[in-house]
Amino acid sequence: MNIKSDPSYTIPGITLLTLLFLSLPSITSCSNDQFYVEPAEEQNQEYEVIFNNVNSEEHDFRVVRILDNLNYPWAVSWLPDGRLLITERPGQLILVDGDQKHTLQGVPEIRAQGQGGLLDVVVHPEYETNGWIYFTYSSPDGDNTSTTLARAQLDELELTNLQLLYIQKPSQNPGRHYGSRIAFPGDGTVLFTIGERGLKQPAQDLNDPAGSTIRLNEDGSIPSDNPFVGHDDALPEIYSYGHRNAQGMAIHSETGAIWQHEHGPRGGDALNIIQPGANYGWPDATYGKNYGIATPIGIEQHEDPNITNPVTYWVPTSIAPSGMAFYYGEHFPKWQGNLFIGALAEQHLRRLVLEGEEVVHQEVLLDRDIGRVRDVRVGPDGYIYVLTDHSNGALYRIEAL
């Protein structure tokens, strides 16, 4: 199928990179959206060291660049054999295999305009059994676009058996606020987010999927225990609503809780724990202000008992959060259970220390050192990986010293 993309985008040149994984031990799946393995005993690969000794509160680390010349990369996910899948927002799905970088064929028709394009990608936790790769993108509908969830299987360098699991209806014209993060909670369902497309009020309309968290069975059908099943005035696929634009989601591996963050306007970025059927307030209740004039948009969330309050929020300005991962690897023992969030506007990696469901401390790492952080993942080697959101974006790895 042909890919439609903004003509201002260009496909980057192919560059060589050294072998990402010399060997991988047996991989096990978990309830989150990634594969995890025991960390390798030794990293023998040679990559460009960007920062050799970064001091932080708990651990010193270095930053190496694994891959560069990526065209607005949005997400990264690992296949069980160590190969990487990386989405580029203009519409390319990249397979990194050793020192080769391939653009996969068979990607569905994508309209890459504004903030839209090819967005999240997550390899199914039981990939070795079912072979499914899930991804989100903005699909065309006349002059409009829709956040769409699809899955496909990989046959050499081509996506096959493509299945469109969900297409946002009604489609909308503003090319922004697509949401699009995917997570597997481990109960046979898949979660993904849809932003309110810059239109505000659809987030409070239960007959419109914009501004919500969608919960489906992994084949795209509706789970019978979704909170609005059987309600005539609500879509049965909606799991939570009142969201502006959620672009980070991770499952807590110990509690199973769904953690999710979303963009506010001017301030009001929020970190939430998602509850079935809960209303998170936007645009009627928010800690954010109107752009430019900084006037209130609605009441604050704590003022309405029917609104679910965030775990924490950021004011007076926005960090613009994107990507999120809990850390449970072995390389950083003092970071166990910490939550890592990327920041686009503030251009850093943020570490959150949790006590239960409370944020008790935050630390800013790599403050404006590598640019806009779009995605954060923990790799199968137990290191933290970040993607940067630029026309010459890169994949970085944070390594313990």
Residues classed as catalytic: 177
The residue with tokens 């990194």 is 96
In our burial notation (b when 16+ CB lie closer than 10 A, e otherwise), range 318-352 reads bbbbbbbbbbbbebbeebeebbbbbbbebbbbbbb
Q: How far apart are CA 208 and CA 291, in angstroms?
A: 25
Question: Residue 265 — left, alpha, or beta (φ > 0 → left; ψ -120 to 50 → alpha)?
Answer: alpha
